[in-house]
Amino acid sequence: MKKFLTLTAALAICTAGVAVADPNLQSMMDDPNQWVSQTGDYKNQRYSKLDQINKDNVGNLQVAWTFSTGVLRGHEGSPLVIGDTMYVHTPFPNIVYALNLADEGKILWKYEPKQDPNVIPVMCCDTVHRGVAYSDGKIYLHQADTTIVALDAKSGAVVWSVKNGDPGIGETNTATVMPVKDKIIVGISGGEFGVRGSVTAYNISDGSRAWRAYSMGPDEDILVDANTTHLGKPVGKDSGMNTWEGDQWKIGGGTTWGWYSYDAEENMIYYGSGNPSTWNPGQRPGDNRWSMTIMARDADTGVAKWFYQMTPHDEWDYDGINEMILTEQEIDGKARKILTHFDRNGFGYTLDRVSGELLVAEKFDPKVNWATHVEMDKGSAQYGRPQVVAKYSTEQNGEDVNSTGICPAALGSKDQQPAAYSPKSELFYVPTNHVCMDYEPFRVSYTAGQPYVGATLAMYPAGESHGGMGNFIAWDGKTGKIVWSVPEQFSVWSGALATAGDIVFYGTLEGYLKAVDASTGKELYKFKTPSGIIGNVMTYAHGGKQYVAILSGVGGWAGIGLAAGLTNPNDGLGAVGGYAALSDYTALGGNLTVFALPN
Q: Which residues are catalytic?
A: 317
Q: Which amino acid is at 274?
A: G
Q: Judge contact between 561 and 575, C-beta under 8 A.
A: yes
Q: Give residue 160's region: left, alpha or beta (phi > 0; psi -120 to 50).
A: beta
Q: How far apart are the first and last CA of the chain?
A: 65
- State the Cα–Cα distance between residues 506 and 92, nearest whole angstrom: 24
- State the Cα–Cα distance between residues 578 and 574, nearest whole angstrom: 7
Exposure string over 219-236, b if 16+ CB within 10 A, otherwise e: bbbbbbbeebbbbeeebe
- Number of separate helices (H) and strands (E) present in the chain: 5, 40
- State the Cα–Cα distance between residues 528 and 514, nearest whole angstrom: 9
SS3 89: strand
What Cα–Cα distance (Å) separates residue 260 from each residue in 38, 43, 176, 177, 283?
10, 9, 9, 8, 30
Q: Judge contact between 249 and 274, C-beta under 8 A.
A: no
Nearest to 320 by CA among 435, 416, 387, 203: 416
- State the Cα–Cα distance between residues 373 and 599, nearest whole angstrom: 52
Exposure string over 16-55, b if 16+ CB within 10 A, otherwise e: eeeeebbeebeebbeebbbbbbbbbbbbbbbbbebebbbb
Those residues with Cβ within 8 angstroms of residue 90's Cβ, 6 or more apart along the chain or in another chain? 69, 70, 71, 75, 96, 129, 590
Q: How far is CA 565 from the centre of its chain?
A: 25
* Cβ neighbours around 477 below 10 Å, total: 25
Nearest to 446 by CA among 202, 296, 277, 201: 277
Q: Which amino acid is at 228?
A: T
- State the Cα–Cα distance between residues 159 and 325, nearest whole angstrom: 32
* Cβ neighbours around 325 below 10 Å, total: 27
